[in-house]
Amino acid sequence: MTHNTYLVLGAGNGGCAMAAELALLGRNPVLFDHVRFDHQLTSLRAAGGVLVESRVVHFAGGIGNHFAPLQRITNDLATVAEVDVVIVVVPGQHHVALAEQVLPYLRPGQIVLLNPGGVGGALVWAAMLKRAGVEGVLLAQAADLLYAGFRTPEAKVVVADKKKQAFLGVFPNRERAQVMQRLAEDFPEFTPAANVLEAGLQGPGMLLHPLPMLMNAVRIDREAPLTYNSYDITPSVARAVEALDRERMSIVAALGGTVKPIQAILTDYYGVVGEGFLDTVLKVPAYQNASAPRDFHHRYIAEEVPTQLVPAATLGRLLGIETPVMDATIGLASAVAGVNHAKDGWTLKRLGLSGVTAATLPAILEDGRV
């Protein structure tokens, strides 16, 4: 049986976990990081791979310590042309710069898998592919990074948890069956989303990270670093998150997707069951004994506001859905960080959707005419 060949772009927490699991599955992936981050690769090269401390059964090899050999660890993006699937595991705000460097090496029939891809990351890539005249590349994005954990300065990654299920969107959607089939063996967690925008909207990060962080701003300013169990979500914070979630669900429904409250998504991801959102989020093992971000330039703000909340709110306006909590979160995050996320984030123009209407959007998502 012929297996996919893989290149993982990004040697941070998620990229190392992804490359390690593929290696343990016998797929011999290539791991890349930019020469500016070569320090991320030094210990991996010396060790010849990644030492994994898995705390979950549903990671390759199960619970325990495993060594995942990596035969190729590189700074050479030309490797893109050699593989079947390119997996992008870098923060969303860096996708445009990375895509510009990757474009010359992509070829028809390849899959570019964004894990994750924000809200509309596949459309950002598609618009850039179109401008570059690159055709036939299949784009997919997961609702969320599959792994929860961290990487140590040594060649070690701790996998504290792994999603049991996550939506996957494909662009163009008419290629969904082909892409799902090609990825199914190595990624059984992926469930097909109605389209790439639904996939991006089904991740809990945009709900759990920016708003609770902003509502804990005083404590973070005064006490960080501090223990941040379940993002310090209290009953009041939970009510605000649930209001934000209702806006997200309205957008998902308008896009023809599966409407799931955040409580249900956490149950799908981690298998925890609670009486409501607050009870559920407090039970997630991966959210315990975490450290709060030290400042408001952390990825919870710098990544998830411009690449998730901004495009979500923009889509809400396109679809005629009011998003007051989403808009307030974007405004507060911008004020606290001293940047204009609404201007600099993934607008309709950056998604390649300028001039698109609510009536024409479904055909574009299905057929890929960006």
Give residues with Cβ within 8 angstroms of 264, minimum separation 6.
Answer: none
Give backbone dihedrals phi and psi of 160, rounded to 5 degrees, phi first. -75, -30
Task: Supply the CATH number for residue 265's domain.
Answer: 1.10.1040.10
Same domain, 29 and 176: yes
Same domain, 186 and 268: no
Q: What is the pLDDT of residues 232-270, one digit of tens each?
A: 999 999 999 999 999 999 999 999 999 999 999 999 999
Residue 368 is predicted with a pLDDT of: 86
Token reading at 41: 């690769």
Same domain, 184 and 253: no
Domain of 114 in residue numbering reads as 6-201
Residue 23 is predicted with a pLDDT of: 98
Residue 179 is predicted with a pLDDT of: 97
Buried (b) or exposed (e) across 26-43, using 16+ Cβ within 10 A?
A: ebebbbbbbeeeeebbeb
Q: Which positions of the chain have pLDDT values less than 50?
A: none
Flag whether 176 is in a domain.
yes
Flag whether 363 is in a domain.
no
Same domain, 37 and 142: yes
Count of the separate structural domains present in the chain: 2
Residue 39 is predicted with a pLDDT of: 86
Same domain, 281 and 345: yes
Q: Count of CB atoms within 10 A of residue 283's CB?
A: 17
Amino acid at residue number 314: T
Q: What is the pLDDT of residues 89-111, one digit of tens each?
A: 999 999 999 999 999 999 999 99
Q: Give the domain-ending residue among 201, 235, 267.
A: 201
Residue 1 is predicted with a pLDDT of: 61
Same domain, 90 and 55: yes
Same domain, 133 and 227: no
